[in-house]
A = this chain, B = another copy of it.
Amino acid sequence: MDTRQYMQQVGRQAREASRHMAGASTAAKNDALSRIAHEIRNRREALLEANTRDLDLARAEGLDSALLDRLSLAAGSVEAMAAGLEQIAALPDPVGEISGVKRRPSGIQVGHMRVPLGVVGIIYEARPNVTADAAALCLKAGNAAILRGGKEALHSNQAIATCVRDGLAAAGLPATAVQVVDTTDRAAVGELITMPEFVDVIVPRGGKGLIERISREARVPVIKHLEGNCHIYVDDHADRRQAVAIVENAKTQRYGTCNTAESLLVARGIAAGLLPEIGSMLAGKGVEMRACPESLMLLRDAGIDASLLVPASEADWAEEYLAPIISVKVVTGLDEAIAHINRYGSGHTEAILTDKHSHAMRFLREVDSASVIVNASTRFADGFEYGLGAEIGISTDKIHARGPVGLEGLTSCKWIVLGNGEIRR
């Protein structure tokens, strides 16, 4: 069987399983999740063995330590996977929720029912814990899932897949409700993203290049996250102490996350008083500042370590550094800040720091981004922090789901009509 035939078969099985899953009871889905968690704990040794095989091969191929780190299932992370499954079991079931039912003049009652999307395809890096997480979220939302993880994690993913299959079957649900693609042939991805008859949505995770390619070539809707060039705008009316603490948290708590601030805009009226303080805090953490001429002057005058001050180029305004670097710009005020963010931002997360209500409200409304924050750190843009319980990813798209995507983002709403023999006049 070639890759095309194999993926068609996987797709057909997923579509069929999705029909069963759409009608599955909450109890059955939760039972499956508990049983999968149980299987994972039970087969801890087998999982670690499979993971060691992957790690050995990855080391032999000279892969870098960041990748090895993500690939590794140290004993603690096996338990974390199992606990994650139980947490998802504890979340409310979004499926079947009926809302907004209204009686119409014709006599019919019209409303919405939340239902699974159907079949979700997830393409991700060599991170075996994503296999368990993604399977659990799709399952709880009543979907069938096709999972394609990075090839370096093949043995780990297959060991996890066995637990998932067995848990599903023990709960009386179709074992094909979660399928882990077991070929490393790259053509499998090309097939997965071009089977609209079998797949309802693709969630790609990974590097920007991969996601751009998938978006370009997919013939199925894609929920994606391209990049996080997150801004903090410090307004004239900001609380200075809060501003320093929030910029510190947003930029320096973790450098590699997508909700880390990459760009700082400061209103001219507060810049002279505040930038030196923010600058020395950043310098104290070794953060390089790519600054506009005005902020560069203010920072230099404040005696900030010159080796950390670099004149910003046009490209800096659009950059997601994922590193101890931040771009800094003095703006005239709110209008320029909003225009700058809407021009250079990536639509991920932006924050305004202000105590002026009308500025906060305009920023909330006019900034075109998935998360818009007043007086708090950009680092809050996260499924757990927002109360979703877990997230399958963060979307920077505008259609369907924006920002952190949890169970609800893996469902859609259909219309329901309750009649009593009505016909249209």
Contact = CB atoms under 8 A, between A and B. Distances in A.
A253 B113 CA distance: 28
A417 interface: yes
Contacts of A369: 414
Nearest to A343: B19
A412 interface: yes
A379 B423 contact: yes
Nearest to A19: B342
Q: Taking the full assembly, how many copies of this chain does it contain?
A: 2
A202 to B, nearest CB: 11
Interface stretch (A37-45, A79-87, A272-280, A370-378): A370-378
Nearest to A242: B421
Given A385-B424, A412-B402, A417 B373 contact: yes
Given A104-B385, A387-B110, A397-B221, A22 B375 contact: no
Nearest to A366: B23
* Interface size class, chain A: 35 or more
B106 A417 contact: no
A404 B415 contact: yes
A414 B370 CA distance: 5
A187 interface: no
Interface of A: 19, 22-23, 96, 102, 104, 106, 108, 110, 113, 115, 117-118, 200-201, 215-216, 219, 221, 223, 239, 241-242, 245-246, 248-250, 253, 339, 342, 351, 362, 364-366, 368-377, 379-381, 385-387, 397-400, 402-404, 412-424
Given A22-B365, A110-B386, A374-B418, 5 more contacts: A115-B365, A374-B419, A377-B423, A400-B412, A402-B415
